[in-house]
Structure 1
Amino acid sequence: MSFVGTKQINSVDELEELLTQNYNENSYYFLRLPHKVSGIVKKRPSEFPSIEGQMFNENLELRWKKNQKGYQVLVLTKADFIHDFIPVGTDFSYYLYLLAIAQLLNDKYLKLFSFYFHTLSHKHRKTWETKTRSVVSYGKKEIETRFPRKFKIECYNDNIDIAQRYFIDVQTATVHFIALTVAFKKKNA
């Protein structure tokens, strides 16, 4: 099972902390700026934070987009559930309404409803199926999905490839999200 969720982050420091918590040796960045893209790079570019971007590795992709309150973050992962992210795909408006009421009442009720919301979201969230597909740059014609020409890809490790992970709604068989990911090459024995 996989998870898709969203979260509002209020500052660049919070965004950096979230990225640092999920960073590993196989992580890559991709920033979108008004006049260019960073390409897929190993180190966080100096233009960080950009208006929007993403960090990905073999476990997840974190996408961020600047808004009036800070940054809206979307997580696409193989994990079952990530705490503090609101699941995407199920109508949680009633539960969010209860959380808002609890917050108005006081913190004691907020903790109770927060636990209740977490339990409900874990039981009733939309189930996502994932499929991973290889991605190559132009030049290798046997693969259908390709990146544009002259696209910077820093992949220094010969044992990994950049790939795409498709997030498919199991009820409708519709692809809703496509995340960048890292795929490990199979060793010939």
Structure 2
Amino acid sequence: MNAFVGVSEQLFTQEELRELLQSMSHQPGYYFLRWPHAVSGILEKLPEEFPSPEGQMFNFDRELRWKQQKPGLYTVLILSNNGETAGFTAIDGNWKTQQRDAYGYRTDETRFPRSLIYPESLAPRFSEDKTQTNKPKLAQRYFIDANTSTVHFVALTVEMPQ
């Protein structure tokens, strides 16, 4: 796999951002949207409230993060295992990746004011749970500068069942 970290060469409008996300989403793919007052939880489809000021789309090979720069205009960061992507300028670094398990919290734990939403199609891991499932699992991918061994980005990803 060829690690790539890049930033969009242009600002995207709301419609262009939606088109970009739809063109780069592979199944299974998920979204996580953030507003100053709330988060969406992990979703399978873009909600009607899209776009949010910040958010991310992730699947098994990449994560796209967007952030509003001006009203209606967004920059996009890509963290990919598939090499360079057209329309994105590489961020300097000798990138390598490591994939790790990601763990969630059960709905009966009081870690957050409200429970985090997981879709039925995704199997979150819980630290004490050893249950095997044929559903994709939530994971994280570290983007590490191989020259300094510094982790610069941690991306959400999906681990496909074996």
Q: Normalising TM by the smaller chain, what interval?
A: 0.7 to 0.9
Query: Which residue of structure 2 aligns with residue 75 of structure 1?
Result: 78
Task: State the secondary structure of the residue aligned to 2:47.
Answer: coil
One of 29, 37, 40 as aligned partner of 1:38: 40
In structure 2, the gaps of 5 or more residues are 123-133
CA RMSD of aligned residues (A): 2.0
Query: Which residue of structure 1 aligns with residue 95 of structure 2?
Result: 128
Q: Within 2, Cα distance between the matches of 1:147 and 1:129?
A: 33
Q: Within 2, Cα distance between the matches of 1:184 and 1:149?
A: 28
Structure having greater relative contact order (Cα 8 Å, sep ≥ 6)? 2
- The number of residue pairs the alignment matches comes to 144
Q: Within 1, Cα distance between the matches of 2:66 and 2:94?
A: 23
- Runs (4 or more) in structure 1 with deviation over 2 Å come to 146-149
1:110-161: CA deviation from partner (whole Å, max 9, x where unpaired)? xxxxxxxxxxxxxxxx32110111112235xxxxxx9997211114154210
Query: Percent same amino acid at aligned positions?
Result: 46
Looking at secondary structure, tell me which structure has more helix per residue.
Answer: 1
In structure 1, the gaps of 5 or more residues are 90-125, 140-145
User: Is the counterpart of residue 183 in structure 1 residue 159 in structure 2?
Assistant: yes
After TM superposition, the score normalised by the length of structure 1 is: 0.71
User: After the TM superposition, which residues 1-189 of structure 1 pair with which residues of structure 2 at under 5 Å, given as runs?
Assistant: 1-7=2-8, 8-68=10-70, 70-89=73-92, 126-138=93-105, 150-156=115-121, 158-186=134-162
- How many angstroms does 1:173 deviate by? 0.4
- How many angstroms does 1:49 deviate by? 0.2
Looking at secondary structure, tell me which structure has more strand per residue.
Answer: 2
Amino acid across the alignment from 1:134: D
Q: Within 1, Cα distance between the matches of 2:26 and 2:112?
A: 24
Q: Within 1, Cα distance between the matches of 2:35 and 2:120?
A: 21
Q: Note if contact 1:155-1:161 (Cα within 8 Å) is conserved in structure 2.
A: no
Q: Whose radius of gyration is greater, 1 or 2?
A: 1
Classify 1:64/1:171 alpha carbon distance in 2 versus 1 (closer, same or farther; 3 Å): same
Q: Note if contact 1:12-1:49 (Cα within 8 Å) is conserved in structure 2.
A: yes
Classify 1:147/1:86 alpha carbon distance in 2 versus 1 (closer, same or farther; 3 Å): farther
